[in-house]
Structure 1
Amino acid sequence: MMRVMLRVNQCRHVMMGPCLDNGYLPFLSEYKGQPFAAGRITLIEMTPSTPGFHALGFRMTSMPNVFRSQPLPDKSVNSLPVRPASTSTDGAAVPTPSGSSVSPPSDHTAASWAALGKNGLPSKTINVAPKKPAPPRFYLVNKHGERLDEELPRWDPNAEKRFSKRIKETGNMCNNYQLRGRCPDGEFCPYDHGERLGPAELLVLRHKARSLKCQNGPWCDDPQCFYGHHCRFGKGCTNPSCRFADTHHIDLTPAKKIYDDGRVEVFN
């Protein structure tokens, strides 16, 4: 495959990991000193490779997060117990056949190997892909710099039923614990710190928390704040006892997105 790909113009680079086996040296020597090929080859080094690979002059790299950099430890093979001489039916000792030194497997061992033969060896998938970074947090403001709450999706009625059932069983949940992932009050918090909510029930809790007014109101600059910062209906609110009445004048048109790392995105 390497011989084929190095002749293809669309092949930009070949990465190969042969450095554990000196048997690849004659093959790789074919490309030593050939500019069209040598410049497109990188050897992946795991355990320290022999001088022969370095003498080829190809670029070399290592990937310690993917391949181990130390050789596997040597395992000494324990000698198996010698099978004792058996006794014939007439009481005479029968010598063990020459070269036979393995005792017959116990019932437990036989059953274990039988299970492996039937079900196969246990498999484990190792994901070596880099972990995606969490998206940056942000909040919205209008042209006057007043905080605007991003619209939440509608919740699932069935999730709301499950949420209400849990409230009846365990009491009110801790918003910090569920929505921020931690509670500063720890074990002294008066609210429930039980099992984490699923995504659907968590959305219900976000709606509930949004109905509570943030003490900093429209000037809150905490991207993780889950409280409400203004009346969602603005000047069109008809609730005479609206707890956000002092924010009815706020312009609800987003003008900027402010990220927690200080970046600002301005909307057209």
Structure 2
Amino acid sequence: MSPAPSLPSNMTEPNASTSLWARFEQLAAVDAARNDLISEVLHRYDYLSEQHKKECEDHDREREYNRNFQRIKKDLENKIRQMQLFMERDPFVIVLIDGDGMIFQDELLKAAELGGKKAAAHLQALLSEYIQIYMPSIPSDVKIVARIYANVKGLADVCVRAGVVDDVTQVEDFVRGFTRGRTLFDFVDVGSGKDRADEKLIETFKLYIHDVRCRQIFFGCSHDNGYARLLEELSTDHLYLERVTLLEGVPFEKELAVLPFNTKKFDIIFRDSKINVFGTLNGFPAPFPPRSRSMAQLGLVTPQNMIQQQTRTPSVSTVASVENISTLHASQQPTWATKAAAAPPLAASPSPTYKASSRDDNPATISRNRVGQRVDPPVRNYDKEEVNRVKNIKMCNVHFLRRECPFGDNCTHVHRYNPTHTEIATLRLVARMAPCQNGSACEDVKCIYGHRCPAPEAKPSIKGGKNCIFGDKCKFPVELHALDTNVVKTTVIRG
């Protein structure tokens, strides 16, 4: 055993103790610092371990979510793909036509069943061409469906009375031919009854407007303001504006003309004027129907033809006119036509008759050109603002220009007004802007309607066709444009 080390000779007992304590305190401080460091490391480790655990849990949860999402995403993509295939399968456009007012051309009706087949073929060909040019987003192989609703018997009677066809069977055969002409074309006979065609047409329209496979609806209703209620609800939505095209037969009624939908006219198929039946009965002038119904309901060109309705405007159809005309010849049981009168019931009185404008000692004359066409007297120059102002007054053309309005106090236009000479001249121009049902052959000396288009000619001039400023939208047929106005003879009309 080695001897204990000896203390320095110069270190006394008190000094040695102080030095040791100092050294101990130094070591204790170092140990405390080490312990603090180790404690801090342990606390940080515990925190990080907890965070790591949470991150692992979150990661596992996200990974599970991602797996579920990928699975759901794949399922949804498959469903979307299947739905797209379904939506793109058998796309179609549908043509909905009110056949009571949108009438086919006379030559087609006269051709009976063959005419019906030709009408179906023309309609499909023209629609296919129109879709290909103006609707490139619609597949070229799109199917075309057509539904025409009409009172076939009433329509046939009208056509016979107007001389369009010789027998009602021609119209019935035409309907049959149209239906047989194309597999997806149907001409549906709704029978007699107020607004039957309208109701079916409106409900069918509602059925297809939201059908994703229906790419376009061609809606033929230009003759009836009643359809404006349905279309106005859709006119503020751009989606619907792109899905509906209005077909024009006769010129659009006022409430339809202002709607922002696209329009198309197939004048090779449909008439652009209403069938005239009143001009052939009892010698009564064409513009005047019997008092029992409103002029707008009878589907004829009338003084402005703008009777305001508080309820839905009744259907303006040629079918309504024939059922009413029959009351001129025989007493019948009340029908839907007689019950749908717009004016209040009137006391029994003879139907209004035409009063000659001159006596035998002062016969009136009608000017005609070298080919016998009627030449209207000059009217004031067309002033759009003045015409619109006078129209807004809603003066009764018949009262102020013929002095014989058959509706009297029941007339829906203004009688109690004191127009100036200038306003009368403008009113005469306004009346002339409605084509006469008898055309240039009219022999009514007091007729206030136009026998040639009074609108200014288009500039630059258009050769052939409708050469006025209104172009194809003009209410006057082509044959009443650019008439020779040189008077070479007159026809004497004695009262």
Q: Identify whether the pair has TM-score above 0.5, normalized to the shorter chain.
A: no
Q: Which has the higher helix share?
A: 2
TM-score by length of 2: 0.22
- Name which one, 1 or 2, has greater alpha-carbon Rg: 2
TM-score by length of 1: 0.39
